[in-house]
Every structure is written in structure tokens, then in C-alpha cells.
Amino acid sequence: MKPPKVILPIIVISQFCCTSLWFAGNSVINDLIVNFNLNANALGHLTSAVQFGFIIGTLLFAVLTIADRFSPSKVFFISAILGTLFNLGIIHSANHLTSLLTLRFFTGFFLAGIYPIGMKIAADYYNQGLGKSLGFLVGALVLGTAFPHVLKDMTHTFLWKSVILTTSTLAILGGLLMLLFVPDGPYRKPMQKTDLSVFLGVFKNTEFRSVAFGYFGHMWELYAFWTFVPILLKKYTETHLQTTFNIPILSFVIIGAGGLACVLSGYIAQRKGTKKTAFTALLLSCICCLISPLLFAVTNANVFIAFFIFWGIVVVADSPLLSTLVAQNAAPKIKGTALTIVNCIGFAITIISIQILTKMLALTASNGIFVVLAIGPILGLFMLKKKSPFNL
């Protein structure tokens, strides 16, 4: 049965609106430091709190198989409302570091009921052409990731509290759209009770394990790249003193280009194959990691920018395709749980790679440290190739 044409746009809009909670704190984090008299090192703690909350949330959602036992649209709506409440708590004047960390942690926790659940909802509607559908969905997340850089450029004009109020309003809107207009999909097969064995048992499937580890390798690079894009741009201007960038806007362009790439990769996958397209994108981003130190010697700023826009495209183009492969290689009754498990582990890996690069930046000014990002793609390519060496 072909779903109504309006379903996918609503899912995409809802996902964008609700995942804006994820990055709302990042866009005003300097204002939080000033207004609540925080130390400068609070920046890393507040950023990590959301990630840790998401990891714990996805872990709990996966263990309890929530995405497969309950209506995903209702889970999405409830998570959006609760995430919004914790996001709004930031504007309370009596906040301090502990309360802000708690608020950001629980915002991340309830995002576990939004991002992977949104993919589960799409999988329940699109048995065929899932890669294209998830391409739009992940593209929305990528634009949500890039959006704070624009907000950062605009905070000189708008009060930081208005950013929090805007993202909270968007999240409520997104939750309501999903609840009112996206009922349970025709391919949903609900579980009747909690099955704790699903969490580890899903990895017994060899093909599932192959694509899951491909996704983990991809995640090692992705969020670390996104995190350090402004730093990479700043390092280039410090090396070439005659060059100046509008770093927030350029960061938005580099990261945001990946949103279009997700949509495009979904269409390419329909012609070339999902796994082959994902493998190609991961290979290209791996090459970008390996040659990135050489780009800092390039004196033409336009060449440098073009390279990083290309990297921003290929670094995430495989994301919806790998998620598609995860969904396709999981049993229908545990599809939502499988996506949530893989998200949980994938985001845990992002913290490790980000922390390693942060430590390395503190120890050395060498541009060669970004080659470390290639570790994930290399392992991911090996796992994707391992299962079917002659037919990707």
C-alpha cells in the first residue's frame, strides 16, 4: 500500500522541529556562561550533557523495546513535550551549573524518543524506497545541526532567551503534527511485551552486524567533524593571516550541504544500490580525513572552502543509507529497537572521538591530528566489505 504523499513531508518537518531542541543550548551557550556566571570549561560539560542524555535514553528505550511496544507517534509526541519542558527550564533565572547540566541531560534523554523514533515511523510507512525517505529525514537533522551556527551569527540581534522559546515552540509544533497527522504505519508489527534479549540478540545476525559496525565507523568521524568545523576554519585563518572568514555562516554552509547530500544519496541508492552508495560515500569521506592536513598549505581560500564543503557532503551522505540497511536487516517486530540500539552505541562513539581530538588539540597545534578521524571510516569500510567482497 502506497502511503499518502503528505506523510513524508510531515515526518520530515516534525523531525526538524523537534531536533532543534538538541542544538538550542549550543547556539546560546556563551550567553549561558555569562548570565549564570559559569566557568569557561562549562562549555564542554553542557554540550556533552545532551549527548550523554541521548545515550542513556536510547539505551533505556532499546532495553525496554519502547519503540516496538507502543505507538511510535505517541512516543514521539510525549518525548517532544517533555523535551520541550526541560529545554524551557534553561531560561529560569536561578539556574546554576548543576541545574543546567540536569536540564540538558534530560533534553537529550527525551530526544531518544524523537530521532530514532522518527526513523522507525518512516520505516513503518516505507518498506520500498526507505533509503530515499530516510535521506529526507536525516537531511532534516543535518539542517538542524547546522542551524545553530546561523543563530549564533544572529544572537547579536535577538536575545538568547528568544532562541530557547523559538526552538521550544517548534518542538511542540513538531510533536503535534506527528500525533495528529501520522498514525501508525501499515508495516508496523507491534511487540506484545518487553523482550530484554533483543538488545544483544539483534547482533547475532551477521549482515546486521556488518552494517551496524559500518554505521559505528561513520559516527566516529561525523560528529567530531561537525564539532571541529569552526576550529578547522579558524586554524586556516591563523595560518594564512590575510584570509578572513565569517566562521558561523561558513560552518552552516559546510554542515548544511550534507542535508542536501542525504536527499541526493537516497535517490542515487535507488539506482546504484543502498550498500554500494553508502560504501562509496564512506570511502570518499575517509580520503578527506587522510588528506585534510595538506589543505592547510593551500593558499587559495576558495579551494580550501570547496574541499570542506565536499567533505561536509560526503561525511553524512551515507548516514540515511546505513540506517536503512540497519532497518532492513532487523526483524520487523524489533525494527524500532534495532535502530535505537545502533543510535545508542553510535552516539557513545562520538563522545570518544570528540574527546580524543580535544585532548590532542590541547597537546599539539599540528594539523595532522585530524587524520585520526579516518580510523572510523577505515574500520567501517572493512566491515561493509567483509560480508560481500564482490557485490556491494
Amino acid identity, residue 150? V
φ, ψ (nearest 5 deg) of residue 38: -90, 160
pLDDT in tens, the chain (392 residues): 677 889 999 999 999 899 888 877 766 777 888 889 888 667 667 777 888 999 999 989 888 888 888 999 999 999 999 999 999 999 999 999 999 999 999 999 999 999 899 988 998 998 777 888 899 989 988 887 777 667 666 666 667 888 889 889 999 999 999 999 999 988 888 876 666 566 667 788 889 999 999 999 999 999 899 888 988 898 888 888 778 888 888 988 999 999 999 999 999 999 999 999 999 999 999 999 999 999 988 989 999 999 999 999 999 999 999 999 998 998 887 888 888 889 999 999 988 998 898 888 888 888 888 999 999 999 999 999 875 433 44
- CA dihedral in degrees (163, 169, 175, 176; nearest 10)? -160
For the entire predicted model, the pTM comes to 0.85
Residue in 313, 319, 257 with CA at minimum distance from that of residue 119: 319
Q: Give the chain's domains with CATH numbers.
A: 9-387 (1.20.1250.20)
Count of C-beta atoms within a 10 Å radius of residue 268: 21
What CA–CA distance (Å, rounded) separates 176 from 191?
25
